[in-house]
Structure 1
Amino acid sequence: MFHKSKTVFVSQLLFVFILIGVFLTLMMLLHNKHYLLFSFMVLLCSILPAYWKFEKQPLKTQTMMFVAILVALAVAGRVPFAALPSIQAASFVIIVGGISMGPELGFVTGSTTALVSNMFMGQGPWTPWQMFAWGLMGLTSGLIGTTKLRKNLLFMVLFGGAWGFFFGWIMDLWFALQYVSPLSIKGFILAFANSALFDLYHALSNIVLITLLYQPWEKLFARLDRKYQFLPTKK
């Protein structure tokens, strides 16, 4: 049964990623026009895994409220630091949220954070790519949350640091595909190298916050769940 449910989940994710890939490709072919439309299409794709989870196991109102609170916290952890490129707390909140809520709702939390925070910081053709990158961050965190690795602080620190670079590389890929012409290995290397310092800042901010706050936040979520039972049941 477990193997079957895991296979179904992988198939669902593959379908969602294909849809997102199609939307991102269309946006580039249209020279970044209609990016808000494609942002909401990516958001819709992000919600699909949660919808499938709802069909199998109805989500409580408390759970959806907690997702909304996590998004608000992530936005609050990004917007005030807008003057400091790549230094923010949004990724930390998304990682901890994914660990607690699971891959489906982690994906929703990450992608929604990008869309909502850009309402304050400015929407643009980068928004759908940020939604995909942060959604993937939440999803992979949710997968880690189903294992014993979630209790290993060193692993979580390394995981958060790695995602500081992975996030930047996804955004570099968008930049290179859209603005580097003609495409070449040298062009890709330059695009990735130009953002290396900002990726390092992102990684370091994740490392510091996870080191200092990951365990207290996880314990806090566990205590709140014992009282209000808002976390989805992990199977």
Structure 2
Amino acid sequence: MLGAHDVELGMTGTLIVNVAIFALLITGLWRFERRLESGQILVGLALIAVIGITGRIILEPLPNISPVTILLLLAGAHYGIRHGLLLATVIVVCSNLILGHGIWTLYQIVAWSLVACAGAYLSTWLIDSDGKLNINRLIVVGFASGFAFDWFVSLSVLHTQPISYLAPYLVQGFVYDLVHAIGNLAFAAWLGVPISDMLKRHYSFKLEATNNVPHAF
């Protein structure tokens, strides 16, 4: 008699199951967070870390798609640079314990830290004075950040290849980078508002950026 563990799902089935698991995780964490007392910054940080780490691992079969870029943009916008750097480091180091470490780990930490810094700098452009997230602006920044992140991490190839190799390497990986950017659009539309609202419930200080970026969108 065959048990459930003997069933082979195939690539498509595995992806569907993984996405479903991630969606259930998000729903469960959101419902759990709603029961917690507001104003606890560590709660917001911990939840973002859990979502980022598990999201990278569970969605690993999907090429270059993860919620981390959008999460760190929002974390930087709400909690500032220091907390964004901490989250970027924790998410990358912990998830790479499963996905694999290498020189790219350092580049991923720095790249996602810069994403968090961008979120902090653009905080008053992404989030208005009432704490409401502008989802269209998050989508624009998330899309651009997908390319910026991948291009920065691609610099790691220069440890083993000459600099002349970089340009064709970036061109060859354009579609891969585009997938990351498009994935960020989906995560921004799906998670942007609920994650922003969750983070807003767990901080009691002003947004870090002091000047609004010109309203281009």
TM-score (norm 1): 0.64
Q: Deviations over 1:180-215 (max 9, x none)?
A: 23x32xx22111112211111110011111123312
Asked if the contact 2:77–2:126 (Cα under 8 Å) also holds between the matched residues in 1, the reply is no
**Which runs of 5 or more structure 1 residues have no equivalent in the other structure?**
1-60
1:143-158 equivalence runs, <5 A: 143-145=121-123, 147-150=124-127, 151-158=133-140
1:203-214 equivalence runs, <5 A: 203-214=181-192
Aligned to 1:191: 169
- Select the residue among 64, 78, 90 that pairs with 1:86: 64
**How many residues matched?**
164
Point out the structure with the larger helix share: 1
What's the % identity of the aligned pairs? 24
- Select the residue among 196, 203, 210 that pairs with 1:231: 203
The 2-side partners of 1:179 and 1:79 are apart by 27
The 1-side partners of 2:97 and 2:113 are apart by 17
| Counterpart amino acid of residue 205 in structure 2 | T
TM-score (norm 2): 0.69
Aligned to 2:144: 162
**Relative CO higher for 1 or 2, CA cutoff 8 Å, sep ≥ 6?**
2
1:43-82 equivalence runs, <5 A: 62-82=40-60
Asked if the contact 2:103–2:156 (Cα under 8 Å) also holds between the matched residues in 1, the reply is no
In the superposition, relative to structure 1, how do residues 232 and 140 fare at CA in structure 2: closer, same or farther (>3 Å)? farther
In the superposition, relative to structure 1, how do residues 142 and 232 fare at CA in structure 2: closer, same or farther (>3 Å)? farther
In the superposition, relative to structure 1, how do residues 121 and 190 fare at CA in structure 2: closer, same or farther (>3 Å)? same
| Counterpart amino acid of residue 233 in structure 1 | F
Residue 80 of structure 1 deviates from its aligned partner by 0.6
Residue 232 of structure 1 deviates from its aligned partner by 4.9
Residue 165 of structure 1 deviates from its aligned partner by 0.2
Q: Deviations over 1:21-54 (max 9, x none)?
A: xxxxxxxxxxxxxxxxxxxxxxxxxxxxxxxxxx
| Counterpart amino acid of residue 192 in structure 2 | Y
Asked if the contact 1:110–1:136 (Cα under 8 Å) also holds between the matched residues in 2, the reply is no
Residue 72 of structure 1 deviates from its aligned partner by 1.4
Asked if the contact 2:44–2:199 (Cα under 8 Å) also holds between the matched residues in 1, the reply is no
| Counterpart amino acid of residue 179 in structure 1 | T
Aligned to 1:180: 161
1:132 aligns with 2:110: yes
| Counterpart amino acid of residue 138 in structure 2 | M
In the superposition, relative to structure 1, how do residues 72 and 216 fare at CA in structure 2: closer, same or farther (>3 Å)? closer
| Counterpart amino acid of residue 115 in structure 2 | M
**Which segments of structure 1 move beyond 6 Å, counting only runs of 4 or more?**
none
The 1-side partners of 2:191 and 2:43 are apart by 22
